[in-house]
Amino acid sequence: DASDELNRLFGRLNSKIPDQEKILVNDSIISIIDSYVRSDSIFTHEFAGLKFLGQIKSGDSKMKIVSWNMLLRESPARYFCYFINRRKEGNKILGLTADYSSENIRTDTVYSPENWYGALYYDLRPVKRGNETFWMLLGIDYGNPAITRKVIDVLSFTPGDDPVFGKKWFNDGTNVKYREVLEYSFTAVISLRFMSDKLIVFDHLVPISPVHANNREFYGPDFSYDAYRFEKGIWQLKINVDTRNEE
């Protein structure tokens, strides 16, 4: 019943109804999803056939992310995202929302739930470092109408159980960054995926013409691939990898 109702609500949310009606429809979606993520079945159940609801779960069934977006005409579109961290003492649930923003996703700082940049996450993997578990996230952001962004980020929790986005783990040969952000033309399509728990592969991005160098509105893939490999506790950038050999 919940699946049928969500399918109906998402159909309305993505139809040409006034913004105020969309907000009311989305409130109903939030009510259902909020109950769902707090249920005992959150790690064993998945809604089938819901095109507009993202549902991803780590291979060890200790983290699940449920997310969607709401497009509006008169106001910025919005992201809605739940992170459910499976714990012995009970699941820790983090619910976030953020408006679409054309501002850059910074690579030189951590983000907190209060200033989360907003994205739709489509894959995740756990990474162990000592006794700690970190969650590698792959996401996509449509906040800038001219530029699409894909992001590799790290979710962790402080000793006080506060969530933190970002870890100074990404060495691109020049800088060590808190996350990797790929920016390219909204008309382009690129791949960013895990090849394994310790290898993330993505399209190498170039300008369509030298005159557009450093203008990400005119960047796209050149059919070669770069990668981040997890080595000695840090993600090291590898340029022009042979994905057949890596696989």
Q: 21-30, 156-165, 225-234: which range is least confident on average?
A: 156-165
Residue 240: per-residue pLDDT: 86
Quick one: what percent of the chain has pLDDT higher than 90?
83
Angle value at C-alpha 91, between 87 and 92, nearest 5 degrees: 100
Task: Report strand pairing: 219-231 vs 120-129.
Answer: unpaired
Residue 241: per-residue pLDDT: 87
Mean pLDDT of 159-186: 94
By the 10 Å C-beta count (0-12 exposed, 13-18 middle, 19+ buried), 108 is classed as exposed
Taking a C-beta distance cutoff of 8 angstroms, is the pair 46, 113 a contact? Answer: no
Residue 43: per-residue pLDDT: 95
Neighbours of 184 (CB within 10 A): 22
Q: Could you give the angle at which helices 19-37 and 2-13 cross, rounded to 10 degrees?
A: 150
Residue holding tokens 């109903």? Answer: 28
Helix and strand numbers (H, E) in the chain are 3, 15
pLDDT digits (tens, 9 = 90+) for 205-239: 999 888 888 888 999 999 899 999 999 889 999 99
The pTM assigned to this predicted structure is 0.93
Residue 68: per-residue pLDDT: 98
